[in-house]
Structure 1
């Protein structure tokens, strides 16, 4: 029997991402994404999952999204790029070439078949002002200034944005006739089709700069009927097969962006609305962070019949499957140490894409009657069978104030209980996300490099109670910092083979903030790597694409509360930093702009502290997950090398 190989940084080119399952009369389909080393890009292909084989349906080097099956099984609908703009395509299931359905100047972001099947409703953009930021300029055109008169004028991964708004259109499949149904100085979000109408949300507001809520409507003909929702956003709407009820997934604003997403049942005839998950105290949906899943499209809730439905819940490090009914009763039906990151339903079974600590993900069939789970795909089987993958141990410990904290611990590859092994603490971003029971390539690389790995969910993390998620707001660097250090204490006291004087720390985004905070408040760590981090809340509020409201919500410091922002800024504590620090930052990061890394680097270098700064061109905030493959490889190698150089 061949000896399994240790995980390598370059394994991202071997791993495939299986996502976006869909069930229709045609069968079960899913998307499979791979990273191409030569082209330095990502390519997604559509597969049909037959009972005994996986059949590839598309072969172009492209990214696909928004897969939909027509009710009669004749068509598959998807979105992909043409001339750098996303457009809707149809593929006949009986065979033949794809057909481009839309030709929108600004592209298409979402599309759905009408219930009757003869039309496609879709969401596109229209620009109110020509010549703004984002216009494609010819080579001879001279540079022009950009006039900004709104606060939401840029976005990470996009850059400076035109003043443009999402509209909703429909197109006849036969005649190709296009009709604009909704447009204006507001964003219309297409959520669901209904008879020959549709359901949409709008962010219409007299104060767009400070509006973070949507209103929900049904459009029948030319008549709009509002559906009452709480203040906040609408994540998903699903109409029951008989058209009598809606499942509505909402994210309120009681705790701003720390608020649990919730599931509601709405009776269209009576107007009664039932909060289905009121007693659950867990967020519905998938809020887990991982680094190998691509082209993820997750339906949070789906009808099985007119009386029953399924929905996903983030629960204590897992994403589990729940069932509910129109009486408001709910129960878990598929729980475990797993990450369900895709779901679709049929009358007898659900199609699920599931990952866990030792599998990057495969497609499964969940049978309602028997409660059994059958694996349908083996896309990653060759990789997982030939690679030495470490399954982490679940840990639970009490923090400084008795709060229970959950996390995971991985021993290094080849460890011996009588040795003295170094350890890396890895901190997630968000902070309202969570580590969990999913495959995480970066953790496996660190373990293969000889490091034990500790990753925990400090207060502020999702998949726990609402009070736990909210506890970090206004207290960055307080209880959350102590939760992480308590985890280090717990695991080093449990396993004496961990070298307590030889521990490193790393993290990105919020995890980068926390890494910066840690090295300014303790010399306990031998080396540190901070990624896409926040160092100065005062400047962050003015330069980040979300800074002006995120700082209010998370630090709970208004514009003139300089003292509080400075108190929570890691750069304030640079005089105390002795830990060798590697600063990794993307040049096109607009979420945590690179000036945050620049400030920290100059402050530390000015004081002759041990620091190095690495800038990644053509990369944004999501470098570690969706960045150029060569830069992802370089980033992870630098992390490992920094720890190798500065730890024993």
Structure 2
């Protein structure tokens, strides 16, 4: 077997967007891979036939990832294929073109076009659709113009690209750029007459919608704001026949996570955020459609309803909820794993998957469940759940297990401060020798309300293990999977979480004598980047550090990032006016004059979540105080560089990090 190479991740296959056909006989899903030469991702729709258990590739143009089943044999998907349409796109014209393809064969044909960037779409009938799309007031009259008038207007708008006018917060969003006055708007589109009818107004942002089985009623979750977006949302019922609204919001403020029709009722989940803030785990509720009476079900539930298990080997979007027959199916994160669950209208919850690892999305048809999973330190594959047994359906990434050397993480637990159990893992170097001393890398996860798992494939960790490093990682207080109280570190950043991480390192060194305690590095991204900055300002035990997409100064973060003004107030329990000193106390930059650790900073120019200014401030502070440091900035990238950045940029990032550690730890 060969060592896992740095570039091997450019050959991985990533699975996403699983959807059963209406009759359940076929499952469509998307497979994505990297094209390093073109520096982009290629995505195609595949089909799994449930009866004969065959898997076939449906599309081949390498740009099909957003789709829906129109009926049992036809799929529509959005793409830009023709040269004239590519030129329109280059000129900046907003539109979405849908093609239709029959799963039994034949070429895809143009089906219809929408004059905006569409996101979600569902058929009411073959002639009518519900769709959400980006409403931008700059383009609001574009569809009514002739071709010549449209080109003139686009030329005018091209000149406006040199300016940004901001009059609300947030004014930008990571991965989306400047978003001022842009909203995800809800529309009805009629194919026959190409009529587009907006359902929501110009200030309302729609977060999701669901149709009932009869397709005459629609639920949607939205947030209407002007000047400042608050963390709250509303629930609406829309009668498609009467074309009328009814506001169902039962408590204000409330953050609705998901809502759908369950039999003759509405099941929804969310939180009023009163006890644990914006990251509070959601609760389940049932609403009577007639009386609008609301009652909470599953009162003892205390998990997040999504998978927060970290990995750098995913691409594409996946469903985390599905109402089927008498149940709502959903995911939970519990310790370092995620599972599929279901709940009925009485609040009875069942955990359907029990194997450790990660569930990265699923779909359900009657009693059949197919999901994307990471199992036994393997990359993503499709699995079917039959009773309590899981059956692997695909082998896209099996070559890794057969051809490459990997390290299996070893789980360790210990009682930290306050007799609280802390969970972590240690990966031995590949080709480990008992009497040899090894350098080590401590990897700190982002979030902070996410988790690491021991059965999930993490490329950078596996690569470092193949390069002769011990890799260690843990889930300190603040992490997901253990309930609200464990995750709640509001106003405590850099205190109890720092203690847990340092105690974890102590326990690892105590248990594994083959680690050279004089050659340990530390790294992490986002919250992990914040903690890396914090760690080097509070201890000299690490001989090198790599801080990625980090936070240095909570005061500057408050006023610059897409989530800053509400995230900082919630998580640090202060604003620059209510308690300036508290924000400065929790800011790593305050302690930068204590730093002795050589540190590399990795940042993306378009990271609006942990803006470039955060890395620049910490880098400048270290340089000013004479500490060996370097900053590598990636143009055209955002907060997701390590997970979905351009292939060449992801290669360069990992090369920079590894070279830094090699220089100081080997």
Q: State whether residues 7 and 445 of structure 1, in contact with CA within 8 Å, keep that contact through their aligned partners in structure 2.
A: yes
Is this contact kept in 1: 2:441–2:469, CA < 8 A? Answer: yes
* Pair 1:160–1:139, CA change in 2 (3 A): closer
Q: Which secondary structure does the structure 1 equivalent of 2:352 belong to? A: strand
**Per-residue deviation at 1:136?**
6.3
Contact 2:208/2:222 (8 A) holds in 1: no
Shift of 1:7: 1.6
Describe the shift of the 1:38–1:145 C-alpha distance in structure 2 as closer, same or farther (beyond 3 A): closer
Q: CA deviation at 1:641?
A: 0.9
CA gap 1:203/1:139 in 2 versus in 1, 3 angstroms:
closer
**2:636 maps to which residue?**
618
Equivalent of 1:127 in 125, 136, 141: 136
Residues 177 and 94 of structure 1, relative CA distance in 2, 3 Å threshold: farther
The equivalent residue for 2:282 is 261
Structure 2 unaligned segments of length 5 or more: list them: 90-94, 142-152
Task: Show structure 1 runs of 5+ residues with no match.
Answer: none
Please say if 1:6 is aligned against 2:15.
no
Secondary structure of 1:19's counterpart equals strand
2:20 aligns with 23
In 2, Cα distance between equivalents of 1:566 and 1:14:
44
**Matched residue, 1:510:** 527
Cα distance change on mapping 1:20 and 1:145 into 2, 3 Å: closer
CA distance in 2, matches of 1:137, 1:612: 41
Q: Measured at CA, do residues 252 and 408 of structure 1 come closer, stay the same or move farther in structure 2, by a change above 3 Å?
A: farther
Are residue 288 (structure 1) and residue 306 (structure 2) matched? no
**1:104 corresponding residue in structure 2:** 114
Q: Contact 1:86 / 1:109 at 8 angstroms: preserved in 2?
A: no
1:638 aligns with 2:656: yes
User: What is the root-mean-square deviation of aligned Cα atoms in Å?
Assistant: 2.3
What CA distance in whole angstroms lies between the structure 1 residues aligned with 2:490 and 2:427?
29
Correspondence for 2:258? 236
Secondary structure of the equivalent of 1:103?
A: strand
Matches within 5 A, 1:49-198: 49-50=48-49, 51-65=52-66, 67-70=67-70, 72-80=71-79, 83=86, 84=89, 85-114=95-124, 116-129=125-138, 141=159, 145-173=163-191, 176-194=194-212, 195-198=215-218
Distance change in 2, residues 1:416/1:482 (3 Å): same
2:219 maps to what in 1?
199
Give distance in 1, aligned partners of 2:183 and 2:301. 36
| CA distance 1:414–1:136, shift in 2 (3 Å) | farther
Q: Is the 8 A contact 1:113 1:120 kept in 2?
A: yes
- Residue 251 and residue 450 in structure 1: after superposition, are their counterparts in 2 closer, same or farther (change >3 A)? farther
SS at match of 2:443: strand
1:599 to 2:586 alignment = no
User: Segments of 4+ in structure 1 off by > 6 A?
Assistant: none
**1:542 is the counterpart of 2:542:** no
Distance 1:177 1:159, change over 3 A: closer
Q: 1:197 to 1:88 in 2, by over 3 A?
A: farther
Retained in 2: the 8 A contact 1:88–1:108?
no
Shift of 1:509: 0.8
Residue 48 of structure 1, CA deviation: 0.3
| CA deviation after TM superposition for structure 1 residue 183, in Å | 2.8
Contact 1:247 1:266 in 2 (8 A): yes
1:298 to 305, 308, 319: 319
Q: TM-score, normalised by structure 2?
A: 0.90
- SS of 2:379 mapped into structure 1: strand
C-alpha displacement at 1:99, in angstroms?
4.1
**How far, CA to CA, are the matches of 1:19 and 1:576 in structure 2?**
45
What is the 5 A alignment of 1:448-597? 448-470=466-488, 472-560=489-577, 561-597=579-615
* Structure 1 counterpart of 2:380: 361
Q: In 2, are the aligned partners of 1:22 and 1:351 still within 8 Å (CA)? A: no
Query: What is the SS of the residue equivalent to 2:307?
Result: coil
State the distance in 2 between where 1:273 and 1:412 align.
54
User: Shift of residue 252 of structure 1?
Assistant: 4.0
Task: Tell me if structure 2 keeps the 8 A contact 1:584–1:614.
Answer: yes
Alignment match, 2:433: 416
> For 2:648, what is the secondary structure of its paired residue?
helix
Residues 1:389 and 2:429 are matched in the alignment: no
Separation (CA, whole Å) in 2 of partners of 1:103 and 1:480: 50
Q: Quick one: structure 1 residues 571 and 508, their matched pair in 2 at CA, closer, same or farther if it must change by over 3 Å?
A: same
The normalised TM-score by structure 1 is 0.92
- Residue 591 of structure 1, CA deviation: 1.2
Deviations 1:541-581 (A, max 9, x none): 11212211111011111122221111111111122111111
* Other structure's SS at 1:253 match: coil
Check the 8 A contact 1:262/1:283 in 2, yes or no.
no
